[in-house]
Chain A
Amino acid sequence: MNDKVFKIILFAAALVIPLICGGVIYSLTIDASDAFSRFGFFEFLTSSEWDYTIDNEKYGALPFIVGTLLTTLLALLFCIPFSLPVSLFIGEYFKGRKIAELLGTVTDLLAGIPSIIYGLWGFYTLRPLIIALDISPQGSGILTASLVLAIMIVPYAASLSAEFIKMVPNEIKESAYSLGATRAEVIRDVVFPVAGSGIFSSYILAIGRALGETMTVTMLIGNTNQIPQSLTATANTMASIIANQFGEADGLRFSALIAIGLLLFLITAIINVIGKFLIKRARIM
């Protein structure tokens, strides 16, 4: 084959990605403009009304933004006490041993389970447990959704953090040991400061995953369109309101949902870009 033709084919294939990304932003913006121009950009973000009765249509994204932030932050909080030990186990205590590999496989398999199955498990196992413990009467809500979400993001946070913990040079760890430090002290005073920015960035990427998770949250959050009053209350996230209503929406509601999709796209894009940037910087250091 001619070299020039081959080069053109390669270039054309590479062009597909920018086309898709540009197309996504373009189409979402065009279809969202109806809702934005009707309600105003900032009013749309700060209004908490979601009413689709005909002639009285009012849409605001605030309840879903709040729902998304709450579930994501709570999931992150629940995830850290598990993902951090996993990454220390794999990257420091049992670095390179069979048992670390085994735990790595376990987290990989966790990452591979489809989100709808997490949702089923949360609905049929965790929800009755929450009702039995009398935490919330209906069982579903922000708390239930974030618990399952936390399990789903542990693998992402843990495997990337472990990579950075592994990269901490042996010489500095050894010099701390030679001064009489215990292993726990080495982890606190050497490993965390050196690998810290890498660990931090892996949690940013985990947040990016949690923000857009759809099916699990839709099945567990209870799907109500108000600003949640407590952590056990039912709510909706940006992703779950789309999953719930997009199929039946038209006109202004369609546009409002697209606008929420555009916001979610921009938020995850920003989070991912920050995460990737921090990771690149952490790798160089």
Chain B
Amino acid sequence: MLVNGMKMKSRLLRDRMCFILVCTFAALTAVPLLAILGEVFVRGCTQFSWDFITEPTPTALKAMMAMRAGDAIPGGIANGIVGSLIMLGMAAAVAVPVGVLCGVYLAENSKKRFAVVVSYLSDLLQGTPSVIIGMITYVWVVVPMKGYSAIAGSVALFIMMLPLIIRSTEETMKILPASLKEAGLALGGNNARVMLKVQLPAAFGGIFTGVLLAVSRVVGETAPLIFTALGCSMVRWEIDKPIAAVPLLIWEFFNDPNLQELIWGASLFLLLFVLCLNITAKYLAKKWNK
């Protein structure tokens, strides 16, 4: 009896230990998140000002002189913000229609062999390291155009956004009730009309959430932009010339000792942008699911 009791006790003890360990280690994963957010916020806030988002990046010389004089480095990341928005806009303008149509195709023809293959390839493209997307865009766009450009950068972002939009569209279309389509067809609409006027509007919330998430995923991408957009120290609107982007600027500041002061402000901006997109998408997804 005594032996049994002790055995029971050790089993219960082990159960307790297991629970405590799981909780401790699970809680520990929140530590890096808090540490990263904390560091970026604390060090970034001191640099953040209106000028920081409306002025272009200073040259290394200007920054060095300001540092010598003991002043704050003048200028900010306006060139990066404009560049990022231009490239994201161009990429999304192509990726959204193509991605949504492809997603619709996959949801409608999920049994066809071709659709299964496309679905697999889309996953494959999504898993492809972003640096390879940058490489391939260099070969496809930068080499024939004989120079880095905003167009090349947005092609790279387009290739990265496409599989994300396809997947979210496909998933949204698949959970739409079949009765919706049947009701539309019963009213005498043909397939195309029902899709455009009934099914797609009904799926709008889910697709929109997917697009927001796709944008938030690619806005921080740096590696593919290094060999496509290159960077530029002034605010630029021409799309056939090298252009700046916020993550590219962070990379530049990281490599240039004179500009290192600006690193945390730029990171704070990028992080806030990504988190806002993420949280908005989450909120919309919740609302849409109800």
Contact = CB atoms under 8 A, between A and B. Distances in A.
B108 interface: yes
A21 B25 contact: no
Nearest to A265: B132
Interface residues of B, number: 84
Nearest to A31: B139
B286 to A, nearest CB: 11
Q: Give the bracket for the number of chain A residues in contact with chain B.
A: 35 or more
Given A114-B270, A215-B223, A14 B18 contact: no
A131 interface: no
B220 A116 contact: yes
Nearest to B263: A120
Nearest to A119: B254
Of B22, B23, B139, most A-chain CB atoms within 10 Å: B22
Given A116-B251, A117-B40, A13 B274 contact: no
B105 interface: yes
Nearest to A219: B254
A273 B192 contact: no
A185 B278 CA distance: 38
Interface stretch (A59-67, A85-93, A138-146): A85-93
Interface in B13-69: 14-15, 17-19, 21-26, 28-30, 32-33, 35-36, 39-40
B240 interface: no
A182 interface: yes
A125 B35 contact: yes
Contact of A272 (B97, B124, B131, B220): B124
A5 interface: yes
Contact of A17 (B26, B36, B102, B135): B102
Contacts of B97: 13
B36 A113 contact: yes
A198 interface: no
- Sorted from nearest, which 8 A-B pairs have the closest CB atoms? A212-B129, A114-B220, A13-B101, A6-B192, A184-B18, A182-B15, A85-B25, A272-B127
Interface of A: 1-3, 5-7, 9-14, 16-18, 20-21, 23-24, 27-28, 31, 81-86, 88-89, 93, 103, 105-110, 112-121, 123-125, 151, 154, 158, 182-185, 187, 205, 208-209, 211-215, 218-219, 239, 242-243, 246-247, 257-258, 261, 264-265, 268-269, 271-273, 276
